Amino acid sequence: MSVESPQSPANHVKAVITDWGGVLTSPLNEAIAVWLAAERIDPERYRTVMRAWVAGAYGSGGSNPVHGLEDGSLQVAEFERLLAAELVTVDGGPVAAEGLINRMFGAFAPVEPMYEALRTARAAGLRTALLSNSWGNDYPRDLFAELFDAVVISAEVGMRKPDERIFRHALDLVGLPAEQCVFIDDIEHNIAAARAVGMRAIHHTGVDTTLTGLRAMGLPV
């Protein structure tokens, strides 16, 4: 985890903006491992394909399936078709495309201490927001009203992290300047992007270190 240096009164944190997958849920790699084992998918083939796609999504090479899925320009069903076509089972068989996203993330579990931290912060008067790159998966939307003052899901706004515009959009919704907001994410590219727009940021590697980082900023979590 990396956090910002102690804050001055001028940039006292008044909002917590957080990612969802891998922060408010159990780690992505754990969910993927469960899915790969359950469907007997060749794990090396999956990792090879996904490394290339993710590298392209965060590089300068333009659009690719991950980029398109996250900003909504590629339909979920088409992403599932493209990914399934690249995968094989351990014995060389095909992988079903329909419902692939839900199966991939089926083992996601909520991280209750992070949810409780958001509730505590909001009850103390801080603003809270979700800023998530969607993969077409299901969110616990029934909890959003109690957890967040604002919700930004990439495919619904046509922008994705680490695009500066989506951070600016989230800041507009919470109604605060960047220096008064802290952003939590498990992907370092997104942490760097948040800092580039002036936000404080915590690279989430575990609940304890993230909560320690928030408390070091004086937040009641």
pLDDT at 62: 61
16, 115 contact by CB (below 8 A): no
Report residue 215's pLDDT band, with 50, 70 and 90 as the boundaries.
very high
Tens digits of residue pLDDT in 32-60: 999 999 999 999 999 999 999 988 888 76
Above 90 in pLDDT, residue 3?
no
- Tell me what the mean pLDDT of segment 69-95 comes to: 97
Above 60 in pLDDT, residue 211?
yes
- Tell me what the mean pLDDT of segment 138-165 comes to: 96
* Distance (Å, whole) CA 98 – CA 100: 5
Tell me what the pLDDT averaged over the chain comes to.
Answer: 93
Q: Would you put residue 168 in left (φ > 0), alpha (ψ -120 to 50) or beta?
A: alpha
- Put the strands of the sheet holding 150-153 in their side by side order: 150-153, 127-132, 15-18, 181-185, 200-203
- The pair phi, psi for residue 45, each rounded to 5°, is -65, -45
- Tell me what the mean pLDDT of segment 167-181 comes to: 98
Element (H, E) at 188: helix 188-196
- pTM listed for this prediction: 0.91
Higher pLDDT, 158 or 59: 158
Count of helices and strands (H, E) across the chain: 11, 5
- Tell me what the mean pLDDT of segment 3-26 comes to: 79
Higher pLDDT, 59 or 201: 201
pLDDT at 190: 97
Report residue 201's pLDDT band, with 50, 70 and 90 as the boundaries.
very high
Above 60 in pLDDT, residue 95?
yes
pLDDT at 5: 46
Q: What is the DSSP track for 92-147?
A: S-----TTHHHHHTTT--B-HHHHHHHHHHHHTT-EEEEEE---SPPP-GGGHHHH
pLDDT at 56: 85
26, 109 contact by CB (below 8 A): yes
Q: What is the DSSP track for 16-41?
A: EEE-STTTTBS-HHHHHHHHHHHTTB
Above 50 in pLDDT, residue 191?
yes
- The pair phi, psi for residue 96, each rounded to 5°, is -70, 135
Tens digits of residue pLDDT in 101-132: 999 999 999 999 999 999 999 999 999 999 99
